[in-house]
């Protein structure tokens, strides 16, 4: 595909892009017939617009120039209209829990796609690390969905994504200080790395916010509400991890430019890969609006900081576009080699390398004081008690034998040092130190 540079496009004036109420309220998708990845793109772009909104608000709160704040307010109004329009593509008859399956499927397949094309080893490790956690969330929510609604989770994910445990959610609760990675250097990081960090941070933040809001709105059971609370805490951890990778030295206007460039890249990717005609038109319209935002951000950067856009984005050409697709073999290879890992300080390490007095254990002892009260475990336990074995959708047995027993939920893996799979790989993930790329059919990954 030939390269595309959004800085070379002719922008519309921002005022020409306001939308009326009928445009803001589109015809929702049909939940039975719409492709799961179309639903995933909708969740992704809703989260991207949320990030645009909250970035702009924080910028405005830290800005002393009212002319600049008026410019931000103008663009922000369109971002808000876009968010409204995209979020109401979700139909009324799709439940909170069905929509949750889309959130976790997006987390799995978006993270996999980004990790596969990520050139920076540190960022790729961070992606692979959280990938297994969202993958496990998909399994826990799927069991709840089948148990409480009798809806087939495999149908919801279209058979594109496996549903089976990975690093058990109970093992993902770590001491909060163990959720910060070193940040990348914007001067040396590739544009793909910067895009990937921004995209995944916004997506995880959207998931965190969604669970923060819906835990109290879930009306089917206390167990379900508790599951949203628990998994919401892991999403909080994911946001801390991903946002810590962002270069913290960028100025507000440099960040604004990068945000608008990311929106252009994502809508352009959505346009190119969308199979639903009506929704593809919507992505195209949003893309045109984002071109206007990008050029506005470029002008503001020049006016207020005297910088050209090339100083932030040296070559404006889009890198390889983002295409959501199945990643079953890739996820299997990551499960096989990294499920037994945890985070300690800024490093990802096998759990068995922790010292007995590392804070991971103290934190685990408090939050998981009684294993039977941990919702992510209780939901599987309840399912097994009622149906004999858990709900899974697998194309082959789980890649590690510790997770193959469907009649007993494993609460020890990656939590008890004696339960570390033999295939777990050791890796120093301190910046620039990684030398452990593993070849898979789909290319290299490192742990
Ligand atoms: Fe936007
Ligand atoms: Fe998740
Ligand atoms: Fe997540
Ligand atoms: Fe924008």
What pLDDT is recorded for position 426?
61
In angstroms, what is the span from residue 296 Cα to ligand 4's centroid? 10
Report helix, strand or coil for 446. strand
In angstroms, what is the span from residue 134 Cα to ligand 2's centroid? 4
Q: What is the pTM of this model?
A: 0.95
Ligand nearest to the CA of 48: 1
In angstroms, what is the span from residue 47 Cα to ligand 2's centroid? 14
In angstroms, what is the span from residue 109 Cα to ligand 2's centroid? 12
In angstroms, what is the span from residue 217 Cα to ligand 1's centroid? 27
In angstroms, what is the span from residue 294 Cα to ligand 4's centroid? 7
Q: What is the pLDDT of residues 394-410, one digit of tens each?
A: 999 999 999 999 999 99
Ligand nearest to the CA of 49: 1
Q: Which two tokens stand for residue 401?
A: 């034998």
In angstroms, what is the span from residue 309 Cα to ligand 2's centroid? 35
What pLDDT is recorded for position 422?
83
What pLDDT is recorded for position 440?
46
Task: Say if residue 429's pLDDT is above 50.
Answer: no
Ligand nearest to the CA of 79: 1
Confidence of residue 439 (pLDDT cuts 50, 70, 90): very low
| Distance, CA of 140 to CA of 390 (rounded, Å) | 10
Ligand nearest to the CA of 238: 3
What pLDDT is recorded for position 430?
36
- Nearest CA to 200 among 92, 118, 304? 118
| Distance, CA of 170 to CA of 137 (rounded, Å) | 10
Q: Which two tokens stand for residue 5?
A: 């540079």
C-alpha distances (whole Å) from 285 to each of 13, 36, 52, 289 are 14, 22, 17, 6
Task: Say if residue 437's pLDDT is above 60.
Answer: no
In angstroms, what is the span from residue 257 Cα to ligand 4's centroid? 9
Task: Say if residue 446's pLDDT is above 90.
Answer: no
Share of the chain above pLDDT 70, in %: 95
Task: Say if residue 341's pLDDT is above 90.
Answer: yes
Ligand nearest to the CA of 111: 3
In angstroms, what is the span from residue 267 Cα to ligand 2's centroid? 23
Q: What is the pLDDT of residues 94-149, one digit of tens each?
A: 999 999 999 999 999 999 999 999 999 999 999 999 999 999 999 999 999 999 99
**b vs e for 405-436, b when ≥16 Cβ sit within 10 Å of the residue's Cβ?**
ebeebbbebbbebebbbeebeebebeeeebeb
For ligand 4, a single-atom ion, the residues with CB < 5 A are 52, 260, 263, 290, 293
In angstroms, what is the span from residue 82 Cα to ligand 2's centroid? 25
Residue 191 · residue 313 · CB < 8 Å: yes
Four-CA torsion 425, 245, 309, 58, nearest 10 degrees: 150
| Distance, CA of 9 to CA of 1 (rounded, Å) | 18
Averaged pLDDT, 340-345: 97
Q: Which two tokens stand for residue 46?
A: 């809703």
In angstroms, what is the span from residue 287 Cα to ligand 4's centroid? 9
Angle (CA) 8 9 14, round 5°: 130
The residue with tokens 């759990």 is: 351
Q: Exposed, middle or buried, 2 (CB in 10 Å: 0-12/13-18/19+)?
A: exposed
Q: What is the pLDDT of residues 355-374, one digit of tens each?
A: 999 999 999 999 999 999 99
pLDDT-wise least confident of 287-291, 325-329, 424-428 = 424-428
What pLDDT is recorded for position 425?
78
Q: What is the pLDDT of residues 6-42, one digit of tens each?
A: 999 999 999 999 999 999 999 999 999 999 999 999 9
Confidence of residue 423 (pLDDT cuts 50, 70, 90): confident
| Distance, CA of 271 to CA of 279 (rounded, Å) | 9
| Distance, CA of 342 to CA of 129 (rounded, Å) | 8
What pLDDT is recorded for position 428?
40
In angstroms, what is the span from residue 52 Cα to ligand 1's centroid? 6
Ligand nearest to the CA of 236: 3
- First vs last C-alpha separation in the chain: 31
Averaged pLDDT, 246-267: 97
pLDDT-wise least confident of 20-24, 413-417, 439-443 = 439-443
| Distance, CA of 235 to CA of 231 (rounded, Å) | 6
Residue 98 · residue 151 · CB < 8 Å: yes
Other C-beta atoms lying within 10 Å of the C-beta of residue 22: 7
Q: What is the pLDDT of residues 283-297, one digit of tens each?
A: 999 999 999 999 999
Helices (H), 342-415: 359-367, 375-387
Q: Which two tokens stand for residue 108?
A: 């799995």
In angstroms, what is the span from residue 290 Cα to ligand 4's centroid? 5
Averaged pLDDT, 229-258: 98
Confidence of residue 1 (pLDDT cuts 50, 70, 90): low
In angstroms, what is the span from residue 374 Cα to ligand 3's centroid? 18
Confidence of residue 3 (pLDDT cuts 50, 70, 90): confident
- Nearest CA to 139 among 175, 169, 163? 163
| Distance, CA of 291 to CA of 7 (rounded, Å) | 8
Q: What is the pLDDT of residues 143-172, one digit of tens each?
A: 999 999 999 999 999 999 999 999 999 999
What pLDDT is recorded for position 356?
96
In angstroms, what is the span from residue 208 Cα to ligand 3's centroid? 8
**b vs e for 66-94, b when ≥16 Cβ sit within 10 Å of the residue's Cβ?**
eebbebbeebbebbbbbbbbbebbbeeeb
Ligand nearest to the CA of 237: 3
In angstroms, what is the span from residue 263 Cα to ligand 4's centroid? 6
In angstroms, what is the span from residue 52 Cα to ligand 4's centroid? 6
Share of the chain above pLDDT 90, in %: 92
In angstroms, what is the span from residue 129 Cα to ligand 3's centroid? 10
What pLDDT is recorded for position 282?
98
């Amino acid at each position: 595909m030939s390269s595309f540079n959004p800085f070379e496009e002719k922008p519309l004036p921002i005022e020409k892009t306001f939308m009326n109420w009928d445009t803001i309220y589109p015809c929702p998708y049909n939940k039975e017939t719409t492709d799961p990845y179309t639903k995933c793109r909708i969740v992704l772009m809703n989260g991207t617009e949320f990030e645009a909104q909250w970035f702009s608000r924080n910028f405005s709160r830290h800005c002393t120039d009212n002319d600049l704040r008026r410019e931000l307010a103008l663009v922000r109004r369109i971002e808000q209209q876009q968010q409204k329009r995209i979020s109401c593509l979700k139909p009324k008859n799709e439940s909170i829990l069905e929509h949750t399956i889309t959130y976790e499927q997006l987390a799995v397949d978006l993270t996999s796609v980004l990790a596969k094309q990520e050139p920076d080893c540190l960022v790729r490790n961070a992606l692979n690390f959280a990938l297994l956690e969202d993958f496990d969330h998909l399994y826990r929510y799927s069991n709840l969905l089948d148990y409480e609604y009798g809806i087939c989770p495999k149908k919801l994910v279209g058979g594109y994504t496996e549903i089976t445990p990975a690093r058990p959610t109970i093992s993902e609760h770590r001491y909060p200080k163990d959720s910060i990675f070193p940040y990348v250097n914007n001067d040396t990081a590739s544009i793909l790395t910067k895009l990937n960090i921004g995209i995944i941070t916004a997506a995880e933040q959207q998931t965190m916010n969604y669970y923060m809001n819906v835990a109290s709105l879930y009306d089917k059971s206390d167990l379900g509400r508790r599951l949203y609370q628990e998994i919401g805490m892991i999403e909080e951890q994911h946001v801390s991890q991903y946002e810590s990778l962002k270069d913290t030295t960028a100025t507000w206007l440099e960040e604004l430019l990068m945000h608008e460039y990311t929106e252009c890249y994502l809508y352009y990717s959505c346009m190119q890969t969308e199979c639903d005609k009506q929704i593809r038109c919507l992505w195209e319209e949003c893309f045109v609006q984002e071109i206007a935002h990008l050029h506005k951000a470029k002008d503001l950067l020049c006016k207020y900081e005297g910088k050209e856009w090339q100083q932030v984005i040296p070559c404006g050409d889009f890198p390889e576009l983002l295409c959501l697709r199945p990643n079953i073999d890739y996820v299997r290879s990551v499960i096989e080699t990294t499920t037994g890992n945890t985070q300690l300080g800024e490093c990802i390490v096998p759990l068995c390398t922790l010292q007995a007095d590392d804070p991971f254990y103290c934190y685990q002892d408090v939050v998981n004081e009684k294993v039977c009260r941990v919702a992510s475990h209780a939901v599987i336990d309840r399912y097994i008690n009622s149906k004999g074995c858990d709900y899974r959708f697998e194309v082959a047995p789980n890649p590690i034998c510790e997770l193959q027993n469907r009649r007993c939920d494993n609460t020890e893996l990656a939590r008890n040092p004696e339960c570390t799979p033999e295939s777990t790989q050791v890796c120093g993930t301190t910046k620039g130190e990684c030398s452990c790329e593993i070849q898979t059919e789909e290319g290299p990954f490192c742990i």
